[in-house]
Amino acid sequence: MTRRYICPAYRQRRGVEMDFGYPTPELFDLAERGEAVIGGCGLSLIGEPERQCLACGYR
């Protein structure tokens, strides 16, 4: 189950935490259905956003 957050731009509970690292097959499925966000697997993640709105894309 993905924890939802209120998007500051959209004002709805559509924000989710971005997943970093090598994605699992389950995460790919969730992202394809629009239920999760894959943040990437690079090493320089300092300062990157931690959440993204599934409705408007706000990070």
Which among 10, 16, 20, 46 is positioned nearest to 33, based on CA atoms? 16
Identify the DSSP state of 23: P
Domain encompassing residue 40: 1-59
Instruction: Look at the chain and report how many structural domains it folds into.
Output: 1
Task: Give me 44's structure tokens.
Answer: 């320089």
Distance CA 15, CA 9 (A): 10
Per-residue pLDDT at 42 exceeds 80: no
pLDDT tens-digit series, residues 1-24: 567 889 999 899 889 888 888 889
User: Quick one: average pLDDT of 45-55?
Assistant: 83
> What pTM was estimated for this model as a whole?
0.72
